[in-house]
A = this chain, B = another copy of it.
Amino acid sequence: MSGAKSRLSNILNDKEREIFAFSMLEDVIRSLKSSSLDEIVILATSPDGITEITAPYGVEYLVDERDLNSAINSILMDEVDPVMIVMSDLPLLTGSVIDEMLGFEEEVVIAPGMGGGTNILLLRSPSRFRVDYYGNSLQDHISIARERGLSLRIYYSFLAAVDMDEESDLIELLIHGDGKASSYLRSLGFYVNGASGRVRLKREV
């Protein structure tokens, strides 16, 4: 996970960002394992460090060095069973959120991320869809579903929406998190502080 989470580089160094990214992945794996999903595969751009995280949970992984869209679309193309695509930077995610999404009947169910992203995407007919991540991917995915005549639901979930891209996201994790990623941030000295207005992110020196 080198180069992970570059927008956090002003508050976390390279090594910290890498450990943070792996901690989030582990939190996500735990939430998926506690859901009713019956097969979990981690998609990674490099095998470095992945086995150590996935093996204890009995989870498989695939390595694909291409960009996210190419890697995912090549899988979707031949897939006949429903697929749920879950981003790995969702440390607040719970199995209940996943199960609630699985309960909907639409062909495409999207859990938006903050700022117009797509954090979870459930596809009942994967081969009829193609993903287009980056930027305002929520709008892009809505358009793709409509173009292809697929029924669509936007599933609004706070715990699925809060991805870890920016400093303010770490505040949400520190307030609400109780997994590996929030513990790691606390171990680095981060805490929230604020007497008026919204709280601010602080780090002990």
Q: Which residues of B contact A168 (CB under 8 A)?
A: 114-115, 168
Residue A79 is within 8 A (CB to CB) of chain B in the complex? no
The reply to whether A171 and B115 form a contact with Cβ atoms under 8 Å apart is yes
The reply to whether A134 and B196 form a contact with Cβ atoms under 8 Å apart is yes
Oligomer copy total = 2
Residue A55 is within 8 A (CB to CB) of chain B in the complex? no
Enumerate chain A interface residues (CB-CB to B < 8 A). 7, 112, 114-117, 134-136, 138-139, 156-161, 165-166, 168, 171-172, 175-176, 192, 194-199
The reply to whether B156 and A115 form a contact with Cβ atoms under 8 Å apart is no
Partner of A198, one of B115, B171, B172, B176: B115
The reply to whether B195 and A135 form a contact with Cβ atoms under 8 Å apart is yes
